[in-house]
Structure 1
Amino acid sequence: MTGKIESRLAELGVTLTEAPAPAANYVPYVQSGNLVFISGQISQGPDGLITGKLGADVSLDDGAAAARSCAISLLAQLKAACGGDLDRMTRVVKLTGFVNSTPDFTDQPKVINGASDFLVEALGDAGRHSRSAVSAGALPFNVAVEIEGIFEIA
Protein backbone atom coordinates (compact mmCIF):
# COMPACT_ATOMS: atom_id res chain seq x y z
CA MET A 1 0.00 0.00 0.00
CA THR A 2 1.27 3.45 -0.90
CA GLY A 3 1.69 5.86 1.98
CA LYS A 4 0.57 9.46 2.27
CA ILE A 5 3.89 10.96 1.18
CA GLU A 6 4.28 8.67 -1.83
CA SER A 7 0.68 9.41 -2.84
CA ARG A 8 1.48 13.12 -2.75
CA LEU A 9 4.62 12.51 -4.82
CA ALA A 10 2.53 10.61 -7.37
CA GLU A 11 0.16 13.61 -7.60
CA LEU A 12 3.25 15.66 -8.49
CA GLY A 13 4.27 13.10 -11.13
CA VAL A 14 7.20 11.78 -9.08
CA THR A 15 7.92 8.10 -8.58
CA LEU A 16 10.85 7.26 -6.34
CA THR A 17 13.39 4.90 -7.85
CA GLU A 18 15.74 2.69 -5.86
CA ALA A 19 18.08 4.74 -3.70
CA PRO A 20 21.30 5.51 -5.60
CA ALA A 21 24.33 3.49 -4.50
CA PRO A 22 27.34 5.31 -3.03
CA ALA A 23 30.01 6.28 -5.56
CA ALA A 24 32.93 5.95 -3.12
CA ASN A 25 33.85 4.70 0.37
CA TYR A 26 30.92 5.96 2.45
CA VAL A 27 27.43 4.89 3.46
CA PRO A 28 24.36 6.52 1.91
CA TYR A 29 22.85 7.43 5.29
CA VAL A 30 23.41 7.18 9.03
CA GLN A 31 20.68 7.18 11.64
CA SER A 32 21.44 8.67 15.05
CA GLY A 33 18.47 8.69 17.38
CA ASN A 34 15.53 10.10 15.45
CA LEU A 35 17.72 11.87 12.88
CA VAL A 36 18.78 10.48 9.52
CA PHE A 37 21.84 12.08 7.91
CA ILE A 38 21.82 11.46 4.17
CA SER A 39 25.05 11.72 2.19
CA GLY A 40 25.26 14.14 -0.70
CA GLN A 41 23.01 13.24 -3.61
CA ILE A 42 24.19 14.35 -7.03
CA SER A 43 22.03 15.77 -9.81
CA GLN A 44 20.77 13.09 -12.15
CA GLY A 45 17.77 12.45 -14.30
CA PRO A 46 16.37 9.68 -16.49
CA ASP A 47 19.08 10.33 -19.10
CA GLY A 48 21.98 10.22 -16.62
CA LEU A 49 23.96 12.79 -14.70
CA ILE A 50 23.03 16.47 -14.94
CA THR A 51 26.40 18.11 -15.46
CA GLY A 52 27.90 21.52 -16.06
CA LYS A 53 28.72 24.77 -14.35
CA LEU A 54 26.25 27.48 -13.34
CA GLY A 55 27.38 30.83 -14.69
CA ALA A 56 28.93 29.13 -17.74
CA ASP A 57 26.97 26.37 -19.48
CA VAL A 58 23.98 25.69 -17.14
CA SER A 59 21.05 28.10 -16.83
CA LEU A 60 19.51 29.08 -13.51
CA ASP A 61 16.32 27.16 -14.38
CA ASP A 62 18.29 24.04 -15.32
CA GLY A 63 20.27 24.37 -12.09
CA ALA A 64 17.06 24.53 -10.05
CA ALA A 65 15.79 21.43 -11.89
CA ALA A 66 19.07 19.69 -11.04
CA ALA A 67 18.58 20.61 -7.36
CA ARG A 68 15.04 19.21 -7.52
CA SER A 69 16.48 15.92 -8.80
CA CYS A 70 18.79 15.84 -5.77
CA ALA A 71 15.81 16.30 -3.43
CA ILE A 72 14.05 13.35 -5.09
CA SER A 73 17.16 11.22 -4.53
CA LEU A 74 17.26 12.37 -0.89
CA LEU A 75 13.70 11.08 -0.45
CA ALA A 76 14.64 7.77 -2.11
CA GLN A 77 17.51 7.40 0.38
CA LEU A 78 15.21 8.35 3.25
CA LYS A 79 12.72 5.71 2.15
CA ALA A 80 15.50 3.11 2.26
CA ALA A 81 16.58 4.35 5.70
CA CYS A 82 12.98 4.03 6.92
CA GLY A 83 12.62 0.43 5.77
CA GLY A 84 10.36 1.46 2.89
CA ASP A 85 7.96 3.53 5.02
CA LEU A 86 8.51 7.15 3.97
CA ASP A 87 5.63 8.21 6.22
CA ARG A 88 8.00 7.80 9.20
CA MET A 89 9.49 11.16 8.16
CA THR A 90 8.28 13.91 10.48
CA ARG A 91 10.27 16.83 9.07
CA VAL A 92 13.14 17.95 6.91
CA VAL A 93 15.64 19.49 9.33
CA LYS A 94 18.43 20.84 7.11
CA LEU A 95 19.78 20.80 3.57
CA THR A 96 23.28 21.72 2.50
CA GLY A 97 23.48 22.44 -1.21
CA PHE A 98 26.64 22.68 -3.31
CA VAL A 99 26.45 24.39 -6.69
CA ASN A 100 29.12 23.82 -9.35
CA SER A 101 29.56 27.44 -10.38
CA THR A 102 31.91 30.05 -11.76
CA PRO A 103 33.60 32.44 -9.30
CA ASP A 104 31.30 35.31 -10.28
CA PHE A 105 28.03 33.33 -10.01
CA THR A 106 26.10 34.44 -6.90
CA ASP A 107 22.66 32.86 -7.27
CA GLN A 108 23.40 29.62 -5.40
CA PRO A 109 20.32 30.15 -3.16
CA LYS A 110 18.08 30.39 -6.24
CA VAL A 111 19.51 27.11 -7.53
CA ILE A 112 18.97 25.27 -4.25
CA ASN A 113 15.43 26.68 -4.13
CA GLY A 114 14.69 23.95 -6.70
CA ALA A 115 15.11 21.41 -3.89
CA SER A 116 13.57 23.51 -1.13
CA ASP A 117 10.49 24.45 -3.14
CA PHE A 118 9.95 20.82 -4.16
CA LEU A 119 10.19 19.53 -0.59
CA VAL A 120 7.68 22.10 0.66
CA GLU A 121 5.35 21.35 -2.25
CA ALA A 122 5.59 17.60 -1.59
CA LEU A 123 5.66 17.60 2.21
CA GLY A 124 3.92 20.80 3.27
CA ASP A 125 5.13 22.34 6.54
CA ALA A 126 7.17 19.20 7.31
CA GLY A 127 9.27 20.08 4.27
CA ARG A 128 10.34 23.50 5.63
CA HIS A 129 13.97 23.38 6.70
CA SER A 130 17.13 25.27 7.55
CA ARG A 131 19.64 25.45 4.73
CA SER A 132 23.02 26.40 3.36
CA ALA A 133 23.67 27.05 -0.34
CA VAL A 134 27.31 27.34 -1.31
CA SER A 135 29.44 27.54 -4.42
CA ALA A 136 31.89 24.84 -5.43
CA GLY A 137 34.56 25.25 -8.08
CA ALA A 138 33.96 21.63 -9.11
CA LEU A 139 31.78 18.71 -8.03
CA PRO A 140 32.20 14.94 -8.52
CA PHE A 141 31.63 13.80 -12.12
CA ASN A 142 31.15 17.49 -13.06
CA VAL A 143 27.56 17.39 -11.74
CA ALA A 144 25.77 20.71 -11.51
CA VAL A 145 24.45 20.25 -7.95
CA GLU A 146 24.99 18.06 -4.89
CA ILE A 147 22.75 18.20 -1.80
CA GLU A 148 22.95 16.46 1.56
CA GLY A 149 20.13 16.39 4.08
CA ILE A 150 19.15 15.79 7.67
CA PHE A 151 15.66 14.40 8.33
CA GLU A 152 13.73 13.67 11.52
CA ILE A 153 11.82 10.38 11.66
CA ALA A 154 9.40 8.78 14.08
Structure 2
Amino acid sequence: MTDTIDATLAELGLTLPEAAAPVAAYVPVVRTGNLLHISGQLPFEDGALMTGRVGEDRELDYAAEAARRCALMLVAQMKRALDGDLSRVARIVKLGVFVNSAGSFTDQAQVANGASELMIKLFGESGRHARSAVGVPVLPLGAVVEIDAIVEVA
Protein backbone atom coordinates (compact mmCIF):
# COMPACT_ATOMS: atom_id res chain seq x y z
CA MET A 1 0.00 0.00 0.00
CA THR A 2 2.91 2.38 0.67
CA ASP A 3 3.84 2.23 -3.04
CA THR A 4 0.20 2.82 -4.01
CA ILE A 5 -0.06 5.82 -1.70
CA ASP A 6 3.21 7.24 -2.99
CA ALA A 7 1.97 6.79 -6.58
CA THR A 8 -1.36 8.45 -5.79
CA LEU A 9 0.42 11.36 -4.12
CA ALA A 10 2.62 11.75 -7.21
CA GLU A 11 -0.44 11.66 -9.50
CA LEU A 12 -2.00 14.43 -7.40
CA GLY A 13 1.23 16.44 -7.50
CA LEU A 14 1.64 16.11 -3.72
CA THR A 15 4.49 15.03 -1.49
CA LEU A 16 4.42 14.12 2.17
CA PRO A 17 6.02 16.71 4.42
CA GLU A 18 8.40 15.76 7.21
CA ALA A 19 6.32 14.72 10.22
CA ALA A 20 6.12 17.78 12.46
CA ALA A 21 7.68 17.75 15.90
CA PRO A 22 5.41 18.75 18.80
CA VAL A 23 5.36 22.43 19.75
CA ALA A 24 4.29 21.87 23.38
CA ALA A 25 4.12 19.15 26.07
CA TYR A 26 2.66 16.24 24.08
CA VAL A 27 3.72 13.52 21.65
CA PRO A 28 2.63 13.47 18.00
CA VAL A 29 1.31 9.89 18.05
CA VAL A 30 0.25 7.45 20.76
CA ARG A 31 -0.29 3.82 19.86
CA THR A 32 -2.58 1.79 22.07
CA GLY A 33 -3.41 -1.70 20.88
CA ASN A 34 -4.15 -1.44 17.18
CA LEU A 35 -5.02 2.26 17.23
CA LEU A 36 -2.89 5.31 16.52
CA HIS A 37 -4.15 8.49 18.17
CA ILE A 38 -2.56 11.32 16.22
CA SER A 39 -2.36 14.75 17.85
CA GLY A 40 -3.78 17.76 16.07
CA GLN A 41 -1.80 18.68 12.97
CA LEU A 42 -1.54 22.16 11.50
CA PRO A 43 -1.43 23.15 7.80
CA PHE A 44 1.79 24.32 6.15
CA GLU A 45 2.29 25.63 2.63
CA ASP A 46 5.87 26.06 1.43
CA GLY A 47 7.03 25.86 5.04
CA ALA A 48 4.70 28.62 6.27
CA LEU A 49 1.76 28.06 8.59
CA MET A 50 -1.61 28.71 6.92
CA THR A 51 -3.37 31.18 9.20
CA GLY A 52 -6.56 33.21 9.40
CA ARG A 53 -10.25 32.93 10.15
CA VAL A 54 -12.69 31.57 7.57
CA GLY A 55 -15.53 33.95 6.89
CA GLU A 56 -13.45 36.88 8.10
CA ASP A 57 -10.10 37.09 6.29
CA ARG A 58 -9.98 33.68 4.56
CA GLU A 59 -12.24 31.99 2.02
CA LEU A 60 -13.66 28.47 2.05
CA ASP A 61 -11.26 27.26 -0.68
CA TYR A 62 -8.21 28.41 1.30
CA ALA A 63 -9.46 26.57 4.39
CA ALA A 64 -10.27 23.39 2.44
CA GLU A 65 -6.72 23.42 1.05
CA ALA A 66 -5.43 23.89 4.59
CA ALA A 67 -7.46 20.85 5.68
CA ARG A 68 -5.91 18.84 2.86
CA ARG A 69 -2.46 19.91 4.05
CA CYS A 70 -3.35 18.83 7.59
CA ALA A 71 -4.31 15.44 6.15
CA LEU A 72 -0.90 15.19 4.47
CA MET A 73 0.74 15.86 7.83
CA LEU A 74 -1.45 13.18 9.43
CA VAL A 75 -0.23 10.68 6.81
CA ALA A 76 3.35 11.76 7.47
CA GLN A 77 2.82 11.07 11.18
CA MET A 78 1.35 7.64 10.34
CA LYS A 79 4.33 6.84 8.16
CA ARG A 80 6.79 7.81 10.91
CA ALA A 81 4.89 5.87 13.57
CA LEU A 82 4.77 2.79 11.33
CA ASP A 83 8.47 2.88 10.38
CA GLY A 84 7.61 3.95 6.84
CA ASP A 85 5.12 1.14 6.19
CA LEU A 86 1.75 2.70 5.30
CA SER A 87 0.51 -0.75 4.21
CA ARG A 88 -0.12 -1.32 7.93
CA VAL A 89 -2.92 1.28 7.90
CA ALA A 90 -6.11 -0.77 8.12
CA ARG A 91 -8.63 2.07 8.44
CA ILE A 92 -8.90 5.79 9.00
CA VAL A 93 -11.35 5.59 11.90
CA LYS A 94 -12.08 9.23 12.70
CA LEU A 95 -10.97 12.76 11.93
CA GLY A 96 -11.57 15.66 14.28
CA VAL A 97 -11.53 18.89 12.26
CA PHE A 98 -11.31 22.26 13.99
CA VAL A 99 -11.91 25.30 11.79
CA ASN A 100 -10.94 28.80 12.90
CA SER A 101 -14.21 30.46 11.86
CA ALA A 102 -16.11 33.70 12.11
CA GLY A 103 -19.37 33.35 14.04
CA SER A 104 -21.40 33.64 10.84
CA PHE A 105 -19.47 30.91 8.98
CA THR A 106 -21.34 27.60 8.89
CA ASP A 107 -19.59 25.54 6.20
CA GLN A 108 -17.11 23.73 8.46
CA ALA A 109 -18.14 20.43 6.87
CA GLN A 110 -17.07 21.72 3.45
CA VAL A 111 -13.70 22.74 4.87
CA ALA A 112 -13.29 19.28 6.43
CA ASN A 113 -13.94 17.67 3.05
CA GLY A 114 -10.48 18.85 2.00
CA ALA A 115 -9.03 16.28 4.40
CA SER A 116 -11.72 13.62 4.06
CA GLU A 117 -11.56 13.46 0.28
CA LEU A 118 -7.76 13.10 0.36
CA MET A 119 -7.97 10.21 2.85
CA ILE A 120 -10.41 8.42 0.53
CA LYS A 121 -8.18 9.03 -2.51
CA LEU A 122 -5.15 7.67 -0.66
CA PHE A 123 -6.67 4.75 1.28
CA GLY A 124 -9.75 3.86 -0.79
CA GLU A 125 -12.67 2.44 1.20
CA SER A 126 -10.39 2.13 4.23
CA GLY A 127 -10.07 5.92 4.11
CA ARG A 128 -13.81 6.47 4.73
CA HIS A 129 -14.14 7.61 8.31
CA ALA A 130 -16.31 9.09 11.02
CA ARG A 131 -15.74 12.82 11.50
CA SER A 132 -16.39 15.90 13.54
CA ALA A 133 -16.17 19.36 11.93
CA VAL A 134 -16.28 22.12 14.52
CA GLY A 135 -16.00 25.88 14.26
CA VAL A 136 -13.79 27.51 16.89
CA PRO A 137 -12.90 31.17 17.52
CA VAL A 138 -9.12 30.64 17.56
CA LEU A 139 -6.52 27.91 17.03
CA PRO A 140 -2.89 27.59 18.15
CA LEU A 141 -0.53 29.99 16.37
CA GLY A 142 -3.48 31.47 14.47
CA ALA A 143 -3.85 28.36 12.26
CA VAL A 144 -6.92 28.30 10.03
CA VAL A 145 -7.47 24.53 10.56
CA GLU A 146 -6.25 21.80 12.93
CA ILE A 147 -7.04 18.10 12.49
CA ASP A 148 -6.47 15.08 14.73
CA ALA A 149 -7.10 11.43 13.87
CA ILE A 150 -7.67 7.92 15.08
CA VAL A 151 -6.23 5.27 12.77
CA GLU A 152 -6.52 1.48 12.97
CA VAL A 153 -3.30 -0.37 12.14
CA ALA A 154 -2.33 -3.98 11.55
> Which interval holds the TM-score relative to the shorter structure?
over 0.9
- How far does residue 87 in structure 1 lie from its aligned partner after superposition? 1.3
Say yes or no: does 1:34 pair with 2:34.
Answer: yes
In the superposition, the TM-score normalised over structure 1's length comes to 0.96
| 2:46 pairs with 1:46 | yes
Shift of 1:121: 1.5
CA offset digits 1:56-113 (Å, max 9, x no partner): 0110011100000000000000001101111111110000000001111111101011
- CA distance in 2 between partners of 1:116 and 1:17 (Å): 18
* CA distance in structure 2 between the partners assigned to 1:123 and 1:12 by the alignment: 14
Q: Assess, with a 3 A threshold, how the Cα gap between structure 1 residues 47 and 27 changes in structure 2: closer, same or farther.
A: closer
Mapping of residues 1-154 of structure 1, within 5 Å: 3-154=3-154
RMSD: 1.0
* Count of residue pairs the alignment pairs up: 153
Following the alignment from structure 2 to structure 1, what is the Cα–Cα distance between the partners of residues 151 and 10? 21
Checking the alignment, whether the CA contact within 8 Å between 1:12 and 1:122 is kept in structure 2 is no
TM-score normalised to structure 2 length: 0.96
Tell me how far 1:47 sits from its aligned partner. Answer: 4.1
Q: Distance in 2 between matches of 1:10 and 1:104?
A: 37
Counting aligned pairs with the same residue, the percent is 52
The answer as to whether partners of 1:42 and 1:143 remain within 8 angstroms in 2 is yes
- The whole-number CA distance in structure 2 between the counterparts of 1:72 and 1:18 is 10
Note if contact 1:43-1:146 (Cα within 8 Å) is conserved in structure 2.
Answer: yes
Q: Partners in 1 of 2:59 and 2:30 — Cα distance?
A: 33
Q: Which structure 2 segments of 5+ residues have no match?
A: none
Q: Distance in 2 between matches of 1:105 and 1:17?
A: 30
Query: Per-residue deviation at 1:122?
Result: 1.8
Counterpart amino acid of residue 34 in structure 1:
N
Q: CA deviation at 1:4?
A: 2.4
One-letter code aligned to 2:125: D
Divergent runs of 4+, >4 A: none
